[in-house]
C-alpha cells in the first residue's frame, strides 16, 4: 500500500513538472492545438481542414518536433498521438522526415511501436469520420486534407527555392510563432521559437512575402507585372466595372470627413486610369492632373480619361511638394514609398499599397488583388 502511494506521488510530481513547463512559453501552442480541434468540430469544412493542417504543421507540430513541450516522455507521446489524429498523419514519420531535411539526408523509414500507435490513431479518426458521414469524408475531409498537404509542400518549397529564406513581416511571425525567421532556425534548429528574433542574421536571404505567398517573388510582381494585370483589365468591361466599384468604395470611405479637394494630382495614370475615372465621379468639380513618365501608358490611357483631365509627362520624386489638395500614389510607384508616408506631398495623400501594409487610416480595395489604400495627411 505504501509503495503504491509513493508511486502515485512520483507520477503526480512528473505530471506537475510537465504542466509547469507547458504553462511557460509553449502553453499557447498546447492551447491552440485544443482550439484547432474545436474549430474542426464547430466549422467542419474543407477550408477549415486545409488551413488548419497547414498552419498547425508549420507552427505547433514543427515546434514540437524540435523541442517537445513536456518533461514527461509519456505526456509527449500522448500529445504526439493527439497531433497525429488531429492532422491526419503520424508525427513520428513527420519528425523523421523533417530532421532528415535539416541534416540534408534522405528519409530512412523506421518502424516502431510509437509509429504504429500513431497510425492507429489516424486510422481510428478516419474510420470514425467515414462512418459518421461518408459524404462529408469524400467531399470535404479528403479534399481539405489533400489541399492542406499541398499547402505544406508549397510552404516548404518556397522556404528553400532560392536558398533558405527568411521573412520578417510582424503579422506573419505573430500568427505563426516566428516561423518567418527560417534562416535563423536552420542555423540553430534547437533554439526556441521565442528567441529567434534575437538571432537575426544580417546575411540571410530575405523575402518581403511570407512563404505561402512567395510564388509572387517567382512571378517578379513589380511594375511590369502590374502593367500586365492592367492590360488584362483593359480586355474585360466586367473587370473594369469591378475595379472601379472597389476603388470607389475605398476612396469614398477615406475622403469622408476631409475638406473637398479642388485640385487633384494622380502620380502615374496607369494603362487603365481607374483612379482618374473614379475621382471624376466622386469629385465632379475638382481639377485632375496626371503625372506620368511613361509615354506608352499615357497613349493607352488617353482615350479612356475623363474630359478635362490634364496630363503632364513627368516623374514624381518623393520629397517634392505638389501644388494641389489631394495626391494619389499608385501601387506600381517606383521610389521611396516610406518617405511619402513620412512627408506627405499634399494636405491629403492616398497611397495604394499591399493589403498587409497598413499605415494609419486605410481601406481595403480588394482582398483578391491584395490591395489597400492608406490615408496620409499633413
Each residue's pLDDT tens digit, 304-328? 888 889 998 888 888 888 889 999 9
Pick from 52, 42, 35: which is nearest to 145 by CA? 52
CA distance 55 to 152: 8
Mean pLDDT in runs of 10 for the chain (378 residues)? Answer: 42 45 74 96 95 96 94 93 96 91 84 93 95 95 95 92 89 93 92 92 86 72 55 74 88 90 89 88 92 84 87 86 91 84 91 86 82 89
pLDDT at 103: 87
232 contacts 270 by C-beta, under 8 angstroms: no
pLDDT at 283: 92
CA distance 361 to 378: 13
18 contacts 74 by C-beta, under 8 angstroms: no
From 3.40.50.150, 3.30.9.10, 3.30.1330.60, 3.60.15.10, which CATH number describes the 224-377 domain? 3.40.50.150
pLDDT at 227: 60
Rounded to the nearest 5°, which phi and psi values hold at 3? -65, -45
214 contacts 196 by C-beta, under 8 angstroms: no
CA terminus-to-terminus distance, the chain: 80
- Going by the DSSP 8-state scheme, the letter that residue 303 receives in this structure is G
181 contacts 205 by C-beta, under 8 angstroms: no
**Structural domain spans, the chain:** 15-160, 224-377
pLDDT at 272: 81
CA distance 229 to 222: 11
Residue 290, beta-bridge partner list:
266, 311
Determine how many CB atoms are found less than 10 A away from the CB of residue 103.
9
Amino acid at each position: 500500500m505504501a509503495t503504491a502511494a509513493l508511486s502515485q506521488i512520483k507520477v503526480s510530481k512528473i505530471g506537475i513538472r510537465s504542466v509547469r513547463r507547458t504553462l511557460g512559453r509553449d502553453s499557447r501552442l498546447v492551447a491552440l492545438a485544443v482550439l484547432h480541434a474545436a474549430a474542426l468540430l464547430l466549422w467542419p469544412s474543407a477550408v477549415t481542414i486545409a488551413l488548419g493542417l497547414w498552419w498547425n504543421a508549420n507552427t505547433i507540430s514543427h515546434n514540437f518536433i524540435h523541442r517537445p513541450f513536456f518533461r514527461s516522455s509519456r505526456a509527449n507521446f500522448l500529445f504526439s498521438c493527439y497531433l497525429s489524429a488531429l492532422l491526419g498523419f503520424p508525427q513520428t514519420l513527420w519528425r523523421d522526415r523533417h530532421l532528415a531535411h535539416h541534416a540534408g539526408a534522405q528519409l530512412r523509414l523506421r518502424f516502431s511501436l510509437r509509429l504504429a500507435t500513431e497510425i492507429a490513431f489516424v486510422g481510428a479518426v478516419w474510420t470514425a469520420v467515414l462512418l459518421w458521414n461518408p459524404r462529408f469524408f469524400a467531399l470535404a475531409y479528403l479534399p481539405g486534407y489533400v489541399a492542406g498537404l499541398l499547402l505544406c509542400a508549397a510552404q516548404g518549397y518556397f522556404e528553400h527555392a532560392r536558398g533558405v529564406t527568411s521573412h520578417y513581416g510582424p503579422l506573419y511571425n505573430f500568427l505563426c510563432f516566428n516561423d518567418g525567421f527560417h534562416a535563423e532556425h536552420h542555423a540553430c534548429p534547437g533554439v526556441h521559437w521565442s528567441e529567434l528574433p534575437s538571432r537575426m542574421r544580417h546575411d540571410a536571404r530575405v523575402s518581403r512575402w511570407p512563404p505561402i505567398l512567395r510564388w509572387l517573388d517567382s512571378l517578379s510582381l513589380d511594375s511590369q507585372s502590374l502593367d500586365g494585370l492592367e492590360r488584362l483589365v483593359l480586355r474585360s468591361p466586367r473587370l473594369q466595372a469591378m475595379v472601379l466599384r472597389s476603388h470607389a468604395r475605398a476612396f469614398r470611405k477615406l475622403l469622408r470627413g476631409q475638406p473637398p479637394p479642388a485640385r487633384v494630382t494622380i502620380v502615374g495614370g496607369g494603362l487603365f486610369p481607374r483612379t482618374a475615372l473614379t475621382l471624376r465621379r466622386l469629385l465632379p468639380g475638382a481639377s485632375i492632373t496626371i503625372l506620368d513618365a511613361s509615354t506608352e501608358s499615357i497613349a493607352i490611357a488617353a482615350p479612356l480619361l475623363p474630359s478635362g483631365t490634364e496630363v503632364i509627362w513627368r516623374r514624381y520624386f518623393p520629397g517634392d511638394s505638389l501644388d494641389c489638395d489631394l495626391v494619389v500614389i499608385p501601387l506600381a510607384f517606383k521610389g521611396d514609398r516610406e518617405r511619402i508616408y513620412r512627408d506627405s506631398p499634399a494636405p491629403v495623400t492616398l497611397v495604394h499599397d499591399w493589403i498587409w501594409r497598413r499605415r494609419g487610416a486605410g481601406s481595403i480595395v480588394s482582398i483578391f488583388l491584395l490591395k489597400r489604400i492608406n490615408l496620409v495627411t499633413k
